[in-house]
Amino acid sequence: MSAEGMILPKICEDARVLHQRSPMAGIYDLTLSAPTIARSARPGQFVEVTVPHGGALLRRPLGIAETSAEEGAIRIIYRVVGRGTELLAAAGAGEMISVLGPLGHGFNVTYRHPLLVGGGMGLAPLLFFAAAHGSSSILMGGRTKAELFWEALFRPHVRAVHATTDDGSYGIEGFVTALLPKLLQEGDYDAVAVCGPPIMMERVAQMTASFSLPCEVSLERRMACGLGACLSCAVDTRSGRRKVCKDGPVFSAEEVYSNVL
């Protein structure tokens, strides 16, 4: 197994908040000092974060958006969806947060020129992929131009940025699947990695299969422990029941979607 695909030892680290900002309403960009996790994390992996101020019993699973081994930092970009993430969004510089990770099985980043396809918060783990790879391209989708604040984050790391918006306010009007066939036909991609809404990932996987390209998908499920013990995130695959937190969150598309072969 390649280093990118290895499941590395889990570390529980007391991480200090370095800074946190909000690029748009309801979205937060958090940087934590977590040197041990930063050195070992791989694109596609995630962490389990303790909610500050005793706001919840269970940790919250959050994808890693970027790391800096030199600075010992990890970056997490997340959406506020409930009380737990509301409290996390209120954490200020200097606060300490317990972080467990890196968790899960990440992306294969050994391809020559992969096309990354993402929508919404699914772009967070793909940003880590892009930063680690250095020669990928990104197809991103959002409802409006404002939701594609991601473009500025991806630009330094990719060959090209392609964008779609539901309302046509930026890029091509429509979903990412409106532009994907043209890109696959005209580009020199040797793989596709996708993360976003489930229906989008399944449609992308079907289109990618028609071009005989390998495709990896990052699944999102409710996770209680993040370690594979509670079985709350189990899914059916061609190999039987698998745990998204431990066996994933990244799987080959053909493993989880029966209609891509």
Take residue 63 and report the two structure tokens written for it: 């994808």
> Which letter does DSSP use for residue 238 in this model?
T
| Nearest-angstrom CA–CA distance, 38 and 31 | 11
DSSP 21-40: EEEETTEEEEEEE-HHHHHH
Known binding residues for FAD: 77-79, 84-85
Residue 48: name the closest of 214, 237, 249 by CA.
249
Going through 183-247 in order, the beta strands assigned E by DSSP cover: 191-195, 215-218, 234-237, 240-243
3-state secondary structure 129-171: HHHHHCCEEEEEEECCHHHHCHHHHHHHHEEEEEEEECCCCCC
CB-count exposure of residue 176 (10 Å: 0-12, 13-18, 19+): buried
Known binding residues: 77-79, 84-85, 225, 230, 233, 245
| Nearest-angstrom CA–CA distance, 118 and 239 | 26
Known binding residues for [2Fe-2S] cluster: 225, 230, 233, 245
Strand 73-79, strand 66-68: pairing: antiparallel
| Nearest-angstrom CA–CA distance, 154 and 122 | 13
Residue 133: name the closest of 49, 81, 66, 199 by CA.
66
